[in-house]
Structure 1
Amino acid sequence: MSFLAASPTPYHAVANAAERLEKAGFRQVAETDAWDGTAGGKYVLRGGAIIAWYVPEGAAAHTPFRIVGAHTDSPNLRVKPRPDSGTHGWRQVAVEIYGGPLLNSWLDRDLGLAGRLTLRDGSTRLVDVDRPLLRVPQLAVHLDRTVNSDGLKLDKQRHMQPVWGLGDDIRDGDLIAFLEETAGLPSGEVTGWDLMVHSVEPPAYLGRDRELVAGPRMDNLLSVHAGTAALAAVAGRGADLSCIPVLAAFDHEENGSQSDTGADGPLLGGVLERSVYARGGTYEDRARAFAGTVCLSSDTGHAVHPNYAERHDPTHHPRVDGGPLLKVNVNNRYATDGSGRSVFAAACDKADVPFQSFVSNNAMPCGTTIGPITAARHGIRTVDIGVAILSMHSARELCGANDPYLLANALLAFLDE
């Protein structure tokens, strides 16, 4: 819950993951530097992505990898290049829709603003205005008498622009000037930005017995957190590992993964190859290592909804707090096959963690993950898993309070090979 609250953007998420790994003895390596093959924990940061790995003592160049894959981005509203707008005495911020959010979940909600500022010298600074700053106001029912009978219809351009103040004098640069002041930067220092809004309502326990957790960005920071915890734990054991455990948390999954920090980019393959070569390996060693590698692509999945049970497959009704999901789709929207199931089943058995199976209703199109992309791009065996939640892609999602713990333990058992 603290990780969710402290990670309003992918940039904050990877910074927080890196901080936790640093405490476990990992060190950052720059992609522009020469790498050595020494044992220990290392990580690479690039934008909203982090690749971290732990090399055991005496690991051969052809040692295979065990990868936990996840993504750091969530559907939301992101600030446009010319953010300052407004009309009829309202000051507004121009935003673009990122990914596929449940738009209505962003209405009438207190919103903050966070992201990455790029300065004149090319350096970056994280910023987080974690207080009620913006709001996307819904039209009153008196002005839309059919909204409850005909349904809410939102135009992404006209209806989703948040307000953040009053005034008719709309000047370019006001929002960025406000953020420069907030971050303690000189006026005119910011030349680029990657900014997004977020709900300022903190994560919370919910339910009579506090058996549920409500919070933002569970898709997919829940998996990023579990993967970070598992990697830190396996490194802390100093065990005699037969594989090299890896955390690969990518950006841009929600819009197709095609970027230099996305799963369809070269980042993961480049890091794994350089790790092989830094330990004196050859192309043959690289091929052997990749052939023995397994990736668990961890992303949230759909718990059976009590009000819409007919939308789910009639024989597969995953429940919250029932353990992680094994996600299957024969059309390769998920990468799981029978051999992959055996890998995950063995990890769950080792960790004494129950697991469930998920398939989509045949009449519904199935979503996808980084799993098939990772399998196809790198030629490595990949299994899709995750945690069952409700309200996926809402500004505020819901999971069982025990499931993140169960997932982290299953991932630890998988990495501890």
Structure 2
Amino acid sequence: MTEPRFDRTHTDDLMRFIQASPSPYHAVANAAKQLVTAGFTETAETDAFPTEPGGHYLIRGGTLVAWWVPDGAPAHTPFRIVGSHTDSPNLRIKPRPDTGRAGWRQVGIEVYGGPLWNSWLDRDLGLSGRLALADGSQRLVHIEQPFLRVPQLAIHLHRSTNEALTLDPQTHLEPVWGLGTPTDGELIAYVAKHAGVAAEDVLGWDLMTHDVQPPAYLGRDGELLAAPRMDNLVSVHASVAAVISAVGNGDSIPVMVANDHEEIGSKSDTGAEGPLLLTVLRRLVHSRGGSYDDEARALAGSFCISADMGHAVHPNYPEKHEPNHQPVPNGGPMLKVNATQRYTTDANGRALFATTCEKAGVPWQIFVSNNRQPCGSTIGPSTAAGVGIRTVDIGVAALSMHSARELCGAADPYLLASCLAAFYEG
């Protein structure tokens, strides 16, 4: 196989995006900044939808929807949608977080999604998320300094730990953040001070931990990328780049949606099983004078790509993978296939993806699970079933998925963005 094209500028920008986006709320805020620079304007859900052509976006919590309506597009114009998700597995802060024992100050956490618990041990962790204030506003907070740590038990006290590490998520995953006796309200007061607000004004919070080690090129020739939250900020970043490049192109309306809560099943008002995307698409039809029939025509002619990270073949565990389908880093985006519709790809989806990659000059590969290993899922099935739009699942091949720090090919993010841009162009 010829060496794939590699735009290091794209990957450099991705690394900055990941580092600046430790929570879903930061991810959508940073994506919105890129959209504004490209000429998109924000639309509030409570306002009438804009009728003029051009780019717009809206934010609800940790979810972002953006679109560009070409000049003169009829109300029944179909949509080309790229879906991804902003959340990643991590440790989230409990409503009463101040705890501790044996002379240590600790923080009470809940496990969010399906993280590799051991990957969070002995890492320098920051804290991020949002604060809900008494005046009805919210404030993003990003504590990037080493702040928390989940200390591992020394091997001297657990001689068999290398043979069988067993962790109790209630007691073994609580981070430490100092010494002394815990005091109610202490953690939130510290976070509030960091955010520049009064502790008594903080009425609620969605806070989470993150690894503060920055993304880095890895390998002899820097051909790999190591970073946190690549599942699925690689796809979010690529879809933003693609929708910006698609402005004014093609005979369809380019739409990107980056949903929250994929890692816990997508069942929320901001998740892919909620009505937000369908509501936006309907309003885009009806705000331009379209009828119910125009809406049905637009949806029937639409297509969605669900872009989410997938599994590269693991060199230490090749038996876990399907023998005839073994994706590798820098081999281009993967077509993700599952007969039980955990991924939505069908024959037509495969044909569209193959044509799109050929148009973009991008190599591609196929992921299918070993029959002994049930596969995960994505927002693809939720979007296909909830919106009724033909959908295909794709993604970048990675190792260590759901670890505090993941690994992929350094060229693959650019190849994914190139593929998505070609998809938008039609």
Match of 1:375 in 2: 384
Match of 2:359 in 1: 350
Within-5 A mapping of 1:310-329: 310-329=319-338
Q: Percent identity?
A: 65
Match of 2:119 in 1: 105
Q: Are residue 66 (structure 1) and residue 80 (structure 2) matched? A: yes
Unaligned runs of 5+ in 2: 1-14
Contact 2:188 2:199 in 1 (8 A): no
Off by >4 Å, runs of 4+ in structure 1: none
CA distance in 2, matches of 1:143, 1:2: 40
Within-5 A mapping of 1:146-295: 146-149=160-163, 151-168=164-181, 170-235=182-247, 238-239=248-249, 241-295=250-304
* Corresponding residue SS for 1:92: strand
Within-5 A mapping of 1:336-415: 336-415=345-424
1:148 positional shift: 1.5
1:187 positional shift: 3.2
CA distance in 2, matches of 1:210, 1:402: 10
Number of paired residues? Answer: 412
1:122 positional shift: 1.3
* Corresponding residue SS for 2:200: coil
Match of 1:297 in 2: 306
Q: Are residue 137 (structure 1) and residue 151 (structure 2) matched? A: yes
Q: How big is each residue's C-alpha offset from its partner over 1:343-378, in whole Å with a ceiling of 9 and x where there is no partner?
A: 111110110001001100001111111101111111
Match of 2:107 among 87, 93, 99: 93
* Corresponding residue SS for 1:148: coil
1:388 positional shift: 0.1
Q: Are residue 23 (structure 1) and residue 37 (structure 2) matched? A: yes
Report the TM-score when normalising by structure 2. 0.96
CA distance in 2, matches of 1:414, 1:234: 9
1:409 positional shift: 0.2
Report the TM-score when normalising by structure 1. 0.98
Q: How big is each residue's C-alpha offset from its partner over 1:251-287, in whole Å with a ceiling of 9 and x where there is no partner?
A: 0000000000000001000001000011110110000
Match of 2:317 in 1: 308
1:180 positional shift: 1.2
CA distance in 2, matches of 1:252, 1:36: 28
CA distance in 1, matches of 2:314, 2:37: 39
CA distance in 1, matches of 2:277, 2:101: 46
RMSD: 0.6
* Corresponding residue SS for 2:34: helix
* Corresponding residue SS for 1:408: helix
* Corresponding residue SS for 1:93: strand
* Corresponding residue SS for 2:246: helix
CA distance in 1, matches of 2:27, 2:202: 22
Q: How big is each residue's C-alpha offset from its partner over 1:363-412, in whole Å with a ceiling of 9 and x where there is no partner?
A: 11111111011111111100000000000000000000000000000000
Q: What is the letter of the counterpart of residue 161 of structure 1?
A: E
Match of 1:53 among 62, 67, 85: 67
Q: How big is each residue's C-alpha offset from its partner over 1:132-189, in whole Å with a ceiling of 9 and x where there is no partner?
A: 000000000000011123x111111010000000002x21110110011111112311
Match of 1:78 among 52, 73, 92: 92
